Chains A and B, each alone.
Chain A
Amino acid sequence: MTRLFLILFTIIPAFGLAQKSVDLYMIEGVIHTASSTIPYFTFSETGAFDSSNVILRFNVGDEVTFNVKNETDFTCGFEVKEHETIDRIAMGETKSVTITFSQEGTFLYQDPINDHRALGLGGMVVISNFNGAEYFGVFTEHNEEWVAAIADGGVYNKKTYGPDVFTINGKGFPRTMADSLAMIMGHVGDTIRIHITNAGQMYHFPHFHGYHVKILSASHHSNYEGWMKDSFGIAPEESMILELVPDKPGRFPMHNHNLVTTTFGGNYPGGMMMHMHIHE
């Protein structure tokens, strides 16, 4: 019996199982375009507003407690897709939920109430034991009219949706180039994993210059799994894991091929575009 305990205590740390805790603050801020300032809400790990929802990374087997504090002035909720949900978190309230992640995967986390994700409240949880380089992109778009109505109690027409800005990790090109989580760097022959989540209301269409990527998993497009693609669609609330093995050096863009989204506030170039930089 003693031997069994010893074996268990030896094995569990070896697999990296751990209890972890993360504080998430739901906070209001703004993003700026050339002509306007748009209200914006994100999940922050520090309590300070950042236009990027924090990207949360854990290992397989981790038991994670999410302490979610609602610092907005309306009732919110919290959900990790395919896992757990906190139905309601009142203004100023903190609620917690604990999730044990038993498998690798990439998942949307969000405020699932109403259309609160359209306020910006949607990010990515990555469960990975992968040893190579990994990059992360949360695709989102924002409609100023919707955000104002949702946040301030107005009425908006859900049949029409005309976003003003398009972002990856809360940033529009060229700011995406300075995002070390999204800007893919590597060498020829590397095996690189790219995690993408669509936290927006629309379908988006990543296109890779220079390379095809292998789609390892796709939560809403399971038919894609195993395909080599340079262009594909990602549905709202969908997450995908891609594998890139570059065969040549160079600088290549990755952008949305609905080219209206490669604008920011209507100006080109901007929005959902970033670059890869592969060395010899």
Chain B
Amino acid sequence: MSRIKYIFGIVLLLTMLVSNAQPLRQYSVVSLMNGQSQFISDSGTVMTLPIWGYAINEGITTLRLPGPTFYANQGDSVHITMANPSMEGHTIHLHGLDVDEANDGVPHHTGFIQQNESFTYRFKATHAGNYLYHCHVTTTMHLTLGMYGMVIVYPSDSSNRIYDGGPTYDKQYEYLLSEMDSRWNTDYTSIGSFLTFDPDLFLLNGKNRSLVYNDPNMIMQGSIGDQLLMRTLNVGYRVNRLIFPNEIKAQVYTSDGRVLSEPFVTDTLIVYPGERFSILAEVLDESPSYVSVDYLDPYRLKFLGRDYIPINDSSFTYIEPQIEDTDTDTIGVGTEQVNTFPIVIYPNPANEELHLVSGLYDFLGCRISDLQGRSVYSKKLGERQEVIDISDLKPGSYFLLLEMDNGGFLHKKFLKQ
């Protein structure tokens, strides 16, 4: 009896050890500064630019944009060994994975991996979801030159669920959004001030325009009722806006690797820098369509560029976006006149039109008189920015009387050419 108890105890102990063992995912990469990649300019020409980045360490390495994707299941331990043969120091910051300080890849705290050194980053994948990694050395430059990639964490059982116990999907697609300033990549030694960043290439998984659709993996394919998971990650410095077509129903389930308490259906989704979303797209109509991916400036969310994710359309061709600039608030006026109104009229001298801009009050009306005091023009106004037509006035000097909505009046003199 005691022997049976002994054997049972050993079996129980082994079972506990096995059940507590965390599967280990191991990756080995190198950081490089000597890659090249092709892009398409706005004029349609193909250009080859230098890129930096990460590649799987397998002897002969080929640098691609973005870097290799690291996959794990929830609960896995992950080891990523990075060797650095390049001439500058680099790190891997595991964005959103909430790793400890030693594995956070921040040089202010733990230094960087110098030339011909290596380091193994270790973490546990605690939540299914979508994550980023990127170099955190002189980050403004190293990241946008190409040193970034994705970390995808599947549920514990690696099933086709978005997260443990979550909804299932039929296919999944990964979309990493970023931008590039071709001037910076052309010669990183002459970048100058980092304030000069002015992206002209808008990238989906490191590709832009027609190069996106040459990769069949980028095109979403599904039949009516299929559930297509879109993993969408923004590693760029600009805002992304996804516009979904009527042919799919887009429902957002997770953000930043965390399950939303209430998934929501939307036709538009903003993805800010660093954010990630899992979107389940149910195919409602098999007709060819596309998701628009816009790149917006963080000031006023001004449109900068667009890419497309085709749906059931293997022959998709790039559609030049026709964006109308509706932003009419163009001229700011300083506060020059102490104790009076900040008003600017321009141009002066003027030919055809006179622009009126008020910083404080709306214009109610205006009257123009010549130097002899004769009224030659009047008009009712109502806004803070107005344009008046002076094309019928004879050349010469005039007085402009402006009536403001606070009851005040203001005189300005101008010259008609």
- B-contacting residues of A (Cβ < 8 Å)? 73-75, 90-91, 113-116, 146, 149-159, 161-164, 201-205, 207, 209-212, 223, 226-233, 247-253, 257-260, 262-263, 265-269, 275
- B63-115 interface with A by 8 A CB criterion: 93, 95-96, 98-101, 104, 106, 108-109
B237 contacts A212, C-beta separation under 8 Å: no
B140 contacts A91, C-beta separation under 8 Å: no
CA of A204 to CA of B237, assembled, Å:
10
A155 contacts B334, C-beta separation under 8 Å: yes
Q: List 12 A-B contacts (CB under 8 A).
A: A75-B360, A153-B333, A156-B332, A210-B100, A210-B101, A210-B104, A228-B256, A229-B275, A231-B96, A247-B98, A260-B195, A266-B194
With an 8 Å Cβ cutoff, the count of chain B residues facing the other chain is: 62
Q: A113-B359, A233-B272, A252-B106 are in contact. List 16 more A-B contacts (CB 8 A).
A: A75-B339, A155-B332, A156-B334, A207-B274, A212-B257, A212-B258, A228-B256, A230-B95, A230-B257, A231-B256, A251-B101, A252-B101, A253-B106, A259-B139, A266-B194, A268-B140
Given the known A-B contacts A114-B359, A209-B106, A230-B98, are A262 and B139 also in contact in the complex, defined by CB atoms under 8 Å?
Answer: yes
Most buried by A among B96, B108, B332: B332
CA of A260 to CA of B191, assembled, Å:
13
Chain B residues with Cβ below 8 Å from A233 are 239, 270, 272-273, 275
Q: Is B260 an interface residue (CB 8 A)?
A: yes
- A-contacting residues of B (Cβ < 8 Å)? 93, 95-96, 98-101, 104, 106, 108-109, 138-141, 143-144, 192-197, 237-239, 255-258, 260-261, 264, 270, 272-276, 298-302, 327, 329-339, 342, 344, 346, 357, 359-360
CA of A74 to CA of B261, assembled, Å:
49
Instruction: With CB as the reference atom, state the residue of chain B lying closest to A275.
Output: B108
Chain A residues with Cβ below 8 Å from B98 are 210-212, 230, 247
Picked from A90, A253, A259, the residue with its CB within 8 Å of the CB of B237 is: A259
Chain A residues with Cβ below 8 Å from B275 are 205, 229, 231-233
B334 contacts A151, C-beta separation under 8 Å: yes
CA of A73 to CA of B272, assembled, Å:
39
CA of A262 to CA of B344, assembled, Å:
36
A204 contacts B298, C-beta separation under 8 Å: yes
Chain A residues with Cβ below 8 Å from B257 are 212, 230
Given the known A-B contacts A151-B335, A229-B258, are A259 and B143 also in contact in the complex, defined by CB atoms under 8 Å?
Answer: yes
CA of A257 to CA of B360, assembled, Å:
35
Chain B residues with Cβ below 8 Å from A207 are 95, 273-274
CA of A250 to CA of B99, assembled, Å:
10
Name the distance in Å between B393's Cβ and chain A's nearest Cβ: 23
A158 contacts B332, C-beta separation under 8 Å: yes
Closest 7 CB pairs of A and B: A153-B336, A231-B274, A266-B193, A250-B101, A257-B274, A233-B272, A74-B335
Chain B residues with Cβ below 8 Å from A116 are 335
CA of A161 to CA of B255, assembled, Å:
30
Given the known A-B contacts A74-B338, A231-B274, A266-B193, are A157 and B140 also in contact in the complex, defined by CB atoms under 8 Å?
Answer: no
Given the known A-B contacts A159-B330, A205-B272, A260-B237, are A113 and B194 also in contact in the complex, defined by CB atoms under 8 Å?
Answer: no
CA of A257 to CA of B238, assembled, Å:
9
Chain A residues with Cβ below 8 Å from B109 are 251
Picked from B144, B329, B338, the residue with its CB within 8 Å of the CB of A73 is: B338
Chain A residues with Cβ below 8 Å from B330 are 157-159
Chain A residues with Cβ below 8 Å from B192 are 266
Name the distance in Å between B314's Cβ and chain A's nearest Cβ: 34
CA of A9 to CA of B366, assembled, Å:
60
Instruction: With CB as the reference atom, state the residue of chain A lying closest to B258.
Output: A228
Chain A residues with Cβ below 8 Å from B299 are 161, 201-203
Instruction: With CB as the reference atom, state the residue of chain A lying closest to B102.
Output: A250
Name the distance in Å between B383's Cβ and chain A's nearest Cβ: 15
B334 contacts A203, C-beta separation under 8 Å: no
CA of A275 to CA of B95, assembled, Å:
16
CA of A154 to CA of B90, assembled, Å:
45
CA of A231 to CA of B256, assembled, Å:
7
B143 contacts A152, C-beta separation under 8 Å: no
B256 contacts A212, C-beta separation under 8 Å: yes
CA of A202 to CA of B301, assembled, Å:
9
CA of A157 to CA of B329, assembled, Å:
9
CA of A115 to CA of B357, assembled, Å:
14
Chain B residues with Cβ below 8 Å from A163 are 195
Picked from A209, A228, A230, the residue with its CB within 8 Å of the CB of B104 is: A209
Chain B residues with Cβ below 8 Å from A267 are 193-194
